[in-house]
């Protein structure tokens, strides 16, 4: 391909979320992985205060597409998507609505539940209500949700601010911790079972959605797949494809594709689940911008299906440009 035909890609990385450092790793990996014969890529840094290295309105004068490598709030919740749409800059991945919905674990969970998919029994707590009715909320949880509990911010990724609570005496502190990262907190019944994640890709048009091989995640030295386990390969064991019966693999993939459609995701998503001891699949959350670092799950699952990282990036860009037409 001639040099002047190369697509110019702005890789947006950094950002003001708690996942700033992970975003930098994803961005760096994307820059290294993009096919040099097809793309001219440049890093566009967004600092922890939300300041851009280049004004968003100037992106279109220099680039064909923005590759969003931002994780967590701001990058994954519809904020940066809104900024890019305002300046009519094409970007990778899901749109404003899908991004905001996926980042809101409670709302997306209700959509999954109404569609007949399973989620853990859940309570949503607002900070205002917590400050007014702390004792009543704690009593409600103890009466109506079987312990142990998982306490998490409603709109964070990478298990940031998440605590597994085994005893009532630890519950208040866990909720306070989660409120440091969000104005809304989820308390869910802990589902005993196997941690599974499944990536989904599409090519930007109807009927092109396909699921990647699911991965089983076995945390080493922790009770669940926490932040440390996610980014330290010595603290987890990941098996792709997951060692499950074909019928369960098929059910997991179908669930992941259904969730992708329900939220109106585009190009890519990754669904995190628990395969319960009852063999039911419980959805934990959907990610619209899964990690793209060297140790991330989506690239590893794509590799297991014979899709190189370079090809994966091609698919994401193709699908994202296709959705504009």
Active site positions, annotated: 19, 158, 231, 270, 272, 285, 287, 291
Decide if 6 contacts 40 (C-beta within 8 A).
yes
Decide if 194 contacts 216 (C-beta within 8 A).
yes
- 3-class SS string, the chain: CCHHHCEEEEEEEECCCCCHHHHHHHHHHHHHHCCCCCEEEEEEEECCCCCECCCHHHHHHCCCEEEECCCCCCCCCCHHHHHHHHCCCCECCCCHHHHHHHHCHHHHHHHHHHCCCECCCEEEEEHHHHHHHHHHHHHHHHHHCCCCEEEEECCCCCCCCCEEECCHHHHHHHHHHHHCCCCEEEEEECCCEEEEEEEEECCCCCCCCEECCCEEEEECCCCCCCHHHHHCHHHEEEECCCCCCHHHHHHHHHHHHHHHHHHCCCCEEEEEEEEECCCCEEEEEEECCCCCCCCCHHHHHHHHCCCCHHHHHHHHHHHHHHCCC
């Amino acid at each position: 391909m001639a040099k002047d035909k190369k697509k110019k890609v702005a890789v947006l990385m950094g950002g003001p979320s708690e996942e700033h450092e992970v975003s930098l790793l994803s961005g760096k990996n994307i820059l290294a992985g993009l096919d040099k014969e097809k793309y001219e890529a440049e890093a566009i840094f967004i600092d922890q205060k939300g300041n851009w290295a280049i004004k968003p309105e100037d992106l279109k004068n220099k680039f064909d597409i923005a590759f969003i490598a931002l994780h967590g709030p701001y990058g994954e919740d519809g904020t940066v998507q809104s900024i890019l749409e305002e300046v009519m800059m094409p970007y990778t991945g899901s749109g404003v609505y899908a991004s905001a919905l996926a980042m809101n674990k409670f709302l997306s969970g209700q959509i999954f539940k109404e569609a007949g998919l399973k989620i853990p029994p859940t309570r949503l707590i607002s900070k205002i209500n917590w400050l007014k009715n702390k004792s009543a909320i704690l009593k409600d949880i103890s009466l109506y949700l079987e312990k142990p509990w998982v306490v998490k911010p409603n709109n964070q990724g990478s298990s940031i601010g998440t605590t597994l609570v085994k005893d009532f005496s630890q519950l208040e502190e866990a909720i306070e911790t989660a409120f440091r990262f969000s104005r809304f907190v989820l308390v869910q019944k802990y589902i005993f079972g196997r941690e599974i994640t499944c990536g989904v890709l599409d090519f930007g048009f109807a009927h092109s959605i396909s699921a990647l091989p699911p991965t089983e995640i076995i945390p080493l030295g922790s009770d669940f797949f926490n932040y440390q386990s996610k980014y330290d390969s010595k603290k987890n064991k990941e098996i792709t494809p997951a060692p499950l019966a074909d019928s369960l693999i098929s059910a997991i993939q179908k669930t992941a594709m259904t969730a992708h459609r329900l939220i109106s995701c585009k190009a890519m998503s990754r669904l995190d689940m628990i395969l319960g001891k009852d063999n039911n699949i419980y959805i934990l959350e959907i990610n619209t911008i899964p990690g793209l670092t060297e140790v991330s799950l989506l690239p590893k699952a794509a590799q297991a299906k014979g899709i190189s990282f370079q090809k994966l990036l091609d698919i994401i860009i193709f699908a994202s440009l296709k959705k504009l037409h």
